[in-house]
Structure 1
Amino acid sequence: MTDTTAFDWRSFLLRWSGEWADSLPADEARGEDDEAARQARWLGFQPASEERISAVEERLGRRMPPSYREFLKVSDGWRHAGGFVWLLAGTESARWHDNESGLADLFEEYLDQDAGPAERREADLWRRGLQLDVESDITHVLMDPEDMDEDGEWAVYTWASWRASPPERHENFLEFMRDMYREFHSLRASPSDNEPVFENDTTRKLDDQAEEARLEALRGNWEEALRALDEAKEYGRPRAGGLGDQIRRLLGQTYMVYFDGLVTDPRYAPELLPPLVAEHAAHPYRDDSTLTFHLRGADDDLVSLAYETLDQVRSGTYRYTAAGPFGKAAERARELARWGDTDEAWRTLREALPLWEPLGPDHLTPIGWLADPLLGPLLTPERGRELLSTPRSGHAGEATSPTVELDPGGLAWLAEPDPGNNRTSYRFVLVEGVEPEDLPGRLGDGDDTLLNEPMTYWEARQRVLHRKQEFSSYDDRALMAVGRAGSGWSFALDGDPAPFSPQRFVSPAASASAGTRAVVVWSGLRTWHGEPFFHLSAARDGVEQYAFTYTDGEVRQSGEIPATLNPSRLFSDLDDSAEAERSVLEAVGAEFGAQLPRHAIVNGRLHTFTTRSWTRPPGDGETYAVIRLHQSAPHPAGSQPTGEDQPETR
């Protein structure tokens, strides 16, 4: 906590006044008071005597907070507190606001029945607060005697209707004045054509601080660098925001991260523009015209590049490229990620990072890869910190410890609840000695079954439903994501299968095992649809070797089942379905030495394809429903739809 009574108010206010005076054009017309302040290089007034301070305290019935008292002893009021308060109260003009503005009534109108004490106290501020703004741009400054700390300091609140935000709280009067000094600097940092260059001891110190922070960031000392850059950014220093935003984006922060001053520089646009565009694309209902709000000053070519990149990001075709060894590592990482090996993909990027080549002196870290549909999902907050802690671009620093890998190995993680607890049933096929791209030929409906481009499972499912014209209650074609399942295995996984029908189910294990081994697992031990169930079948060279199905509390099995997969042991106790599921999956993973990549399946993008049906054709006398959708012209007004759009029962 700052010792507000020991603060050197006079030096602070003199520095502020001098910088303000130097920032004014000499030939600009101004009021008599401002001109006098410029010539005197003093924005304040005469000091207030102890008698005057005591008198205002007697008038108001409260002892003033320490930092405000100390301020008054140096200047009895203040001009130009920031950019929007033109005159700040001294001893004569400080007064209780007493809801003079009517804002207490306005704020109370927006309180609902569930409003807590803090919200109600905020609304009542306008009745109890001490008003400090005398002249302003519709900006209110109130000290709150009920928001007082152990040192007797009152919090200061500022609010302006044009800011469209709740009142901003400042810890005390000293912090309020520091914030207003920073606001003054920030508004002067980009002078207009007729204003003098805003340069002084403060700006030079902050610019030196930003440069040292840049070097510290390249050495891997990102936390120290970010603190220094954030301080410089508060003063509006031109490099600080763009440098700090590169660090913030790798920490997973996207709100108010715009790479100011750098993203429109043609040198840095190839790296900084894609993540900015990707954040825009992540909000599907955002007006595309707003993309240019953060590209002020960009030329037509860069704006065209921004919209071209937006199209690529939305279509999933954006590809990150970079020069040198890091660019080659990114290509290898993409290939690993598209088949699910995200941990190895991350290691590939991380190990190449010391050889990364920046695009210019203000480029702190590779960042364009965040917009790549395959590389972007590799980022986690922990990995972002690991990358930022790694010395790069020829700079020496302390080596960092690798982050914990995200894929735990094995299959048992499937028994863990996912966010929203939606993964209650799933099915997968494991095939040994076969590449993932060959799985459609073994599981697809015909030789022309192709892999879709990598996408999230939700995106793939939406695409299939959009294109699907026929829905059958008997047909069960699985949409499956594919990848590598550890050493020597590939997988195809359906994370949202249709309900299990043991009477009609046909395991694809045999057809998938031509010339090799294949395993099929279908789990619904935590399903919301009917009784819990579990199926496993294993085949070799096109012939099923063994299988078992647990359903309705019973086990049906065939073939010689290995002791490790004995269903009588695995399903002896189902009081804890999640633990039983974990035990079964651990046994399957140990028996075949296969695993499924959790991070790629849950957070990444994988190739998908649609299999042949997992159910047999209907037999004689078995009924089923088929719904066919036909695209046709809209029905004329008053007409009735034809039977083509109706379900057909067979």
Structure 2
Amino acid sequence: MTDTTTCAWRPFLLRWSGEWADCQPADETRSEEEEAARRARWLGFPPAPEHRIAAMEERLGKRMPPSYREFLKISDGWRHAGGFVSLLAGTADARWHNNESELADDFEGFLDEDADPQERWAAGIWRRGLQLDVESDITYVFLDPEDVDENGEWAVYTWASWRAEAPERYPSFFAFMRDMHREFHSLHAEARDGEPPFVNDTTRKLDAQLEAARLEALRGGWERAGEALDEAKAYGRPRAAGLRDQIRRLLGETYLVSFEHLVTDPRYAPELLPPLLAEHAAHSYRDDSLLKFSLRGADEDVMSLAYTTLAQVRDGTYRYAPGGAFGEAVARARELARWGDTDGAWQTLRNALPLWEPLGPDHLAPLAWVAEPLLAPLLTPERGRELLSTPRGGQTGVRPRPTAGLDPGNLAWLAEPGPGNDRASYRFVLVEGVEPEELPGRLAHGDGEGNEGGGGDGAVLSEPMTWWEARNRSLRGKREFSSYDDRPVMAVGRAGNGWSFAFDADPAPFDRRRFSSPAATASTGTRAVVVWSGLRADHEEALFHLSVAQDGAEQYAFTCEGGEVRRSGRIPPALDPVRFFGDAEDGAEAERSLLEAVAEEFTVSLPRHALTNGRLHTCTTRSWTRPPGEGETYTVIRAGLGTAPLAVGEWDADNGRDGG
């Protein structure tokens, strides 16, 4: 049963009335009725006797719902229900709306074929609703006689044109009035000029709950803390939204996360500005001048920090640098993440959390790291909950069970469809006993025939970025494209114990006549493995290539393309293509089995999370196709004004001419 007896209504309404009276400026001009209400400390009216309620029900043809009926026994109407309804109906003024506003046709006309049942139901409130607003700021309040719960309570719907939202629903009249009390509090939480401080039993109770919630959050009880902060936020208590937003952001939420007044506090700005600005930067349509509105109240130093941080976030140079032992752990985590070990990076951060020191009492958790290019991909909703559940900031409690790693520690995951089913083909190079920094020197030189030279800018690692960012950057300003030159942009990192990798997520079409494996040139003084898979590519013949080289010479290789297998050298039995390309196995199964065999043979793995969601260094490699031979032609496409002379063997597709 709902707790809406007269015993529940009376103390609630008396408390609300007293709070309203106490926050009224003494020198403000009021009507006689308003002044009388202030002096009496009562926003209501005399109670309605039973016979008056019965007469109302006879007039309307309906028995009123329990919570509204009990309310009328305490007060026959109400002043200032929230901030926008100045007079709420009692027994004399409640009436059926009967589309008096003529808004029913508009709302029903707005519905489209995809409108859900709740939207269609709400649109009909203008025809069936019992109107309770008597005086308001263009705000309608309806009791719905057809939206009734098991206790006989009618739902309340409110709508205001200036809110530009669908009607808001409350399960009962009592629930509606409780929310209007919250609205009253939120509008008076910060005293305006001439108003007395807004302090009362309700605010004192909420502020005590807020402080307890702050400590509970630091002990790891973020769910209980969140509930208390939500209640305090609904009442407009200062600090509540800023504290709650810290929890929300670590859970992966960004919508309407602003950290409110905390973000403009110089103590907390270095930690709270970066995640706010990262979200701003992710939406390039946002005018930077809006930052002044988002950060209203900030002093010049905070605004200067905001613009500097925004520039760093946009160009990828922002680095999170907290002090102390936790800051040292952040540096170690960054180093692990930049070579693909995101699980190790997260473990490093997680283990150091008890050492983290807040910037002030209202700082609940480390946050600025979510704006750093290398560290941001570490955050998942599960990890956010793990962080929030970990005692920190000098508080003690039970540490949570570690979340599972995101990397399976193998190669077989490559056989699974990627996001959008877009991982049909890929290629990678594995080199043993070298650091990732050395890969550009091994892969970005040579002409495909074992000759040195042609290193160019590919020998330099880029700053960490997503593979697609690197690909787009490599194409920026490029005006010439050749059908024989296949120099991919490859992400680099560590591939398990003692191996490094270079990975291309979207290789060019495989050309078996001109293909030149980079394994030999990459293997000087060590071993190198090259894999190219296209067994699930719809637009090309099914393909799988493996080549292994040592000390600059290819040891063995095989290529399966279109059902034909070409092989060379002494292939280990575990990698013999006969095992994988029988009639019984389809391409996907063969791919998985091959990847498992390669991983076991060389004890290697590739970091799934870093390659699909993270940022890695990249380099442009030598061409994976040999130069054209004598008499071979190829296509060169040049974009831009003017036409450069064609080299021998080149064919101009636009002008139908070739070089001679």
TM-score band by shorter chain is over 0.9
Contact 1:625 1:648 in 2 (8 A): no
Asked if structure 2 preserves the Cα contact closer than 8 Å seen for 1:625 and 1:647, the reply is: no
Change (3 A) 1:541 1:273: same
Match of 1:568 among 553, 572, 578: 578
Q: Is the 8 A contact 1:353 1:390 kept in 2?
A: yes
The CA deviation at 1:579 is 2.5
SS at match of 1:272: helix
The structural deviation recorded for 1:147 is: 1.6
Alignment check: 8 A CA contact 2:635 2:653 kept: no
* Paired AA for residue 194 in structure 1: G
Q: Deviations over 1:560-596 (max 9, x none)?
A: 1111111111121465432222111111111110100
Q: Which residue number in structure 2 is paired with residue 491 of structure 1?
A: 501
1:626 and 1:649 in contact (8 A); partners too: no
Structure 1 moving runs of 4+ over 4 Å: 643-650
Q: 1:645 to 1:209 in 2, by over 3 A?
A: farther
Partner of 1:290: 290
Partner of 1:13: 13
SS of alignment partner, residue 627 of structure 1: strand
1:166 Cα deviation from its structure 2 partner:
1.4
> CA contact under 8 A between 2:635 and 2:652: conserved in structure 1?
no
Distance 1:247 1:568, change over 3 A: same
Amino acid at match of 1:560: R
TM-score normalised by L of structure 1: 0.96
**Which of 434, 446, 461 is 1:451 aligned to?**
461
In the other structure, the counterpart of 1:46 is: 46
Q: Is the 8 A contact 1:627 1:647 kept in 2?
A: no
Structure 1 window deviating more from structure 2 (49-58 vs 603-612): it is 49-58
User: 1:590-629 counterparts in 2 under 5 A?
Assistant: 590-629=600-639
Instruction: Specify the alignment match of 2:647 in structure 1.
Output: none
The answer to whether the Cα contact below 8 Å between 2:320 and 2:372 also exists between their aligned partners in 1 is yes
Cα deviation 1:131-171 (Å, max 9, x = unaligned):
11111011111122222111111111111111122111111
What is the CA distance between 1:293 and its match in structure 2? 2.5
Single out whichever of 101-110 and 243-252 deviates more from structure 2: 101-110
| 216-225 or 287-296: bigger deviation | 287-296
Q: Deviations over 1:537-578 (max 9, x none)?
A: 100001111111111112111111111111111121465432
Residue 394 of structure 1 is matched in structure 2 by 394
Q: Quote the Cα distance in structure 1 between the aligned partners of 2:622 and 2:20.
A: 75
Letter in 2 for 1:115: A
Structure-2 change in CA distance of 1:644 and 1:92 (3 Å)? farther
Residue 526 (str. 1) matches residue 536 (str. 2): yes
Q: Which amino acid aligns with 2:619?
A: F
Q: Distance in 1 between matches of 2:469 and 2:227?
A: 39
- Measured against aligned partners, the alpha-carbon deviations of 1:403-433 in whole angstroms (never above 9, x if no partner) come to 1011110100111112211111100000001
Query: Quick check: 1:82–1:181 contact (8 Å CA) kept in 2?
Result: yes
Q: Does 1:140 align with 2:150?
A: no
Match for residue 174 of structure 2?
Answer: 174
Give the SS at the match of 1:135: strand
Match of 2:479 in 1: 469
489 and 185 in structure 1: CA distance in 2 versus 1, 3 angstrom threshold: same
Q: Is the contact between residue 636 and residue 653 of structure 2 (CA under 8 Å) also seen in structure 1? A: no
Q: What 5-or-longer segments of structure 1 have no aligned partner?
A: 633-642
Q: Which residue of structure 2 aligns with residue 111 of structure 1?
A: 111
> Counterpart of 2:348?
348
**Matched residue type, 2:516:** V
Match of 2:337 in 1: 337
Q: 1:630·1:645 contact (CA, 8 Å) conserved in 2?
A: no
CA shift for structure 1 position 624? 2.3
1:518–1:539 contact (8 Å) kept in structure 2: yes
What CA distance in whole angstroms lies between the structure 2 residues aligned with 1:328 and 1:116? Answer: 52
Per-residue CA deviation, residues 330-377 of structure 1 (Å, 9 max, x unaligned), is 011111100001111111111111011111111111111110110111
Correspondence 1:406 to 2:406: yes
The CA distance in 1 between the partners of 2:641 and 2:366, in whole Å, is 47
Cα separation, partners in 2 of 1:648 and 1:472, compared to 1, 3 Å? farther
Q: Give per-residue Cα distances to partners, 1:238-273, cap 9 Å, x unaligned.
A: 011111111111111111111111000000000000
Structure 2 letter corresponding to 1:323: G
Is this contact kept in 2: 1:88–1:133, CA < 8 A?
yes
Mean CA deviation greater in 440-449 or 514-523: 440-449
* Separation of aligned partners in 1, 2:641 and 2:302: 40
- Contact 2:2–2:151 (CA under 8 A) maintained in structure 1: no
RMSD: 1.7
1:636 alignment partner in structure 2: none
Cα distance in 2, alignment partners of residues 170 and 380 from structure 1: 34
Q: Which residue identity is paired with 2:308?
A: E
- Contact in 1 for aligned 2:520/2:552 (Cα 8 Å): yes
Aligned partner of 1:577 among 577, 587, 600 = 587
Note the C-alpha offset of 1:649.
6.2
Q: Residue 101 of structure 2 corresponds to which residue in structure 1? A: 101
For the residue of structure 1 that corresponds to 2:76, the secondary structure is coil
Alignment length, in residue pairs? 640
Look up the match of 2:415: 415
3-state secondary structure, aligned to 2:17: helix
CA contact (8 A) 2:6 2:73 kept: no
- The CA distance in 1 between the partners of 2:590 and 2:165, in whole Å, is 52
- Where does the alignment leave 5 or more consecutive residues of structure 2 unmatched? 446-453, 643-650
Partner of 1:370: 370
Q: Return the alpha-carbon distance in structure 2 between the equivalents of residues 594 and 460 of structure 1.
A: 25
Q: Which amino acid aligns with 1:400?
A: P
- CA distance in structure 2 between the aligned counterparts of 1:253 and 1:579, rounded to whole angstroms: 38
Separation in 2, partners of 1:52, 1:382? 57
Paired residue for 1:638?
none
Contact 1:242 1:262 in 2 (8 A): yes
Cα distance in 1 for partners of 2:434, 2:48 equals 86
Matched-pair contact (CA < 8 Å) for 1:629–1:645:
no
Distance in structure 1 (CA, Å) of the matches to 2:175 and 2:113: 34
Secondary structure of 1:397's counterpart equals coil
Q: Does 1:588 align with 2:619?
A: no
Residue type of the partner of 2:546?
A: L
Following superposition, the deviation at residue 644 of structure 1 comes to 10
Give the match for residue 450 of structure 2.
none
Instruction: Please name the residue that 2:29 is paired with.
Output: 29
Q: What fraction of aligned residue pairs are identical, expressed as a percent?
A: 72
Q: What letter matches 2:69 in structure 1? A: R
Relative to structure 1, is the Cα distance of residues 470 and 152 closer, same or farther in structure 2, using a 3 angstrom cutoff? same
SS of the counterpart of 1:8?
A: helix
C-alpha spacing 1:574/1:503, structure 2 compared with 1 (3 Å): farther
SS at match of 2:253: coil
Q: Superposition pairs for residues 182-201 of structure 1, below 5 Å? A: 182-201=182-201
Q: Distance in 1 between matches of 2:117 and 2:392?
A: 50
- The residue aligned with 1:637 is none
Partner of 1:318: 318
The letter for the 2-side match of 1:463 is: R
Out of 482, 495, 515, which is 2:525 matched to? 515
What amino acid maps onto 1:497 in structure 2? P
Cα distance in 2, alignment partners of residues 275 and 546 from structure 1: 50
